Amino acid sequence: MNTISYWFAIVGFFATVLFIEGSYLFWNTHRGPEARRISHRLKTFAGSGDSAEISLAKKRLLANYPAVARLLERIPHVAMFDRILLQSGVHANLAAVLGLMLAFGAGAWLVAEVLGLPWLGQLIAAVIGILLPALYVQRARNKRMTTIEGQLPDGLDLMARAMRAGHSFPSALQMIGEEMPQPIAGEFKAAFEEINFGIPVKNALLNLASRLPSADVHYFVVAVLIQRETGGNLAELLSNIAGLIRARLKMFGAIRVLSAEGKLSAIILTLLPFGLAGVLSLVNPTFLKVIWLDPVGIKMLWIVAGMMVFGILWMRRLIKIHV
């Protein structure tokens, strides 16, 4: 082959490579995954095509390690437990809480083993140790929801005043996020940011109701959604809801004062058998040993435990009044 043939071969090779690369770039620009994603988002924002809901919230990590997170995702109803953890305001993921529960359970079991308790006592101690972190999370959740319910009337009054002054509904939500204290400020600010980034007001309010399992928040969301469909004075509606929530909280406070005696009696009756058993064990360690060693005594313990659980649930039902 002469020199001209070599040059033709080299030029032909580079031309073929450039043609293939150019074709791929053209296809990727117009039909590739990134192009389809951008086109889908533009259609969504424009109100045409697929109107799939846009999620602004980052996916919560169930664990710091992907393998553990994938394992936890296989657990049934794991999303419900993670939502409870999110509503509690505890800054920890689900894997950390589960690890803490196992650690507390193992520690309580070791303490019971060192104290020489029988297997039933060790089992009860381990169960109590496992439940302690879960009870803490549930208590933090209830406390946070109670705080939000107490802040909600002031927040609704602030929204009503803002709307009377000429502000829009999203702007009134933003004012709560900027001027109200936590934790209600963070929740309403998240709702405003969702609306600000293009999520419909209805979806943002429904997300707010799902994050806050409070009857008062649900009343607010339902009232606003109905008003947006039927019309009316939204500022006056918010003021009326705030007054209704204040009256409800006032009545609940009165009922809580009246039921305080019943709660104290229930606590004393619940702790009295355990306290008496502890005192008897200290005074005479062999006095209660027959209950642990005799089969009839073990059956009696199970019967007594079942009766105590039934009594606790019954007393709780009697002194818990919904308003």
Residue 310 belongs to a domain: yes
* Full residue range of the structural domain in which residue 21 is found: 3-46
- Measure the CA angle with vertex 25, ends 21 and 31; round to 5°: 140
Residue 164 belongs to a domain: yes
Considering the domain architecture, whether residues 220 and 292 belong to the same structural domain is answered as no
Residue 43 pLDDT class (50, 70, 90 cuts): very low
Amino acid at 119: W
Residue 86 belongs to a domain: no
Residue 24 belongs to a domain: yes
Nearest one of 184, 174, 153 to 89, comparing CA atoms? 184
Considering the domain architecture, whether residues 182 and 221 belong to the same structural domain is answered as yes
Instruction: Decide if 141 contacts 87 (C-beta within 8 A).
Output: yes
Considering the domain architecture, whether residues 233 and 217 belong to the same structural domain is answered as yes
Instruction: Share the mean pLDDT of the chain.
Output: 77
Phi, then psi, of 65 in degrees rounded to 5:
-110, 130
Instruction: Decide if 99 contacts 128 (C-beta within 8 A).
Output: no
- Cβ-count burial 176-213 (b if 16+ within 10 Å, e if not): bbeebeebbbebbbbbbbbbeeebebeebbebbbebbe
Look up residue 60 and give its DSSP letter: P
Helix (H) or strand (E) segment spanning residue 80: helix 78-88
Number of domains within the chain: 3
Q: Give the residue-averaged pLDDT of 243-254.
A: 85
Considering the domain architecture, whether residues 167 and 193 belong to the same structural domain is answered as yes
Residue that finishes a domain, picked among 31, 46, 61 = 46
Instruction: Decide if 217 contacts 148 (C-beta within 8 A).
Output: yes
Q: Give the residue-averaged pLDDT of 190-209.
A: 87
Considering the domain architecture, whether residues 269 and 313 belong to the same structural domain is answered as yes
Q: What is the CATH number of the domain that holds 203?
A: 1.20.81
* Most confident of the following: 10-19, 48-57, 164-173: 164-173
Instruction: Decide if 239 contacts 157 (C-beta within 8 A).
Output: yes
Structure tokens at 204: 């943002």
Quote the CA–CA distance of 174 and 191 in Å, as a whole number: 9
Considering the domain architecture, whether residues 264 and 213 belong to the same structural domain is answered as no
Cis peptide before 118 (omega within 30 of 0): no
Amino acid at 161: R
Residue 99 belongs to a domain: no
Residue 211 belongs to a domain: yes
Q: Give the residue-averaged pLDDT of 131-135.
A: 87
CA dihedral 120, 122, 127, 131 (to 10 degrees): 140
Structure tokens at 290: 């027959």
For residue 54, the number of C-alpha atoms closer than 13 Å in the C-beta half-sphere is 19
Residue that finishes a domain, picked among 229, 252, 275 = 252
Rg (CA), the chain: 31
Considering the domain architecture, whether residues 320 and 231 belong to the same structural domain is answered as no
Residue 242 belongs to a domain: yes
Tell me the per-residue pLDDT of 51-94, one tens digit each, with 9 for 90 and over.
334 444 445 566 565 666 677 667 777 777 777 877 777 777 77
pTM: 0.61
Residue 117 belongs to a domain: no
Considering the domain architecture, whether residues 298 and 222 belong to the same structural domain is answered as no
Structure tokens at 126: 């381990």
Considering the domain architecture, whether residues 153 and 231 belong to the same structural domain is answered as yes
Structure tokens at 24: 């791929």
Tell me the per-residue pLDDT of 111-123, one tens digit each, with 9 for 90 and over.
888 877 777 778 8
Q: Please give the share of the chain, as a percent, with pLDDT higher than 90.
A: 0
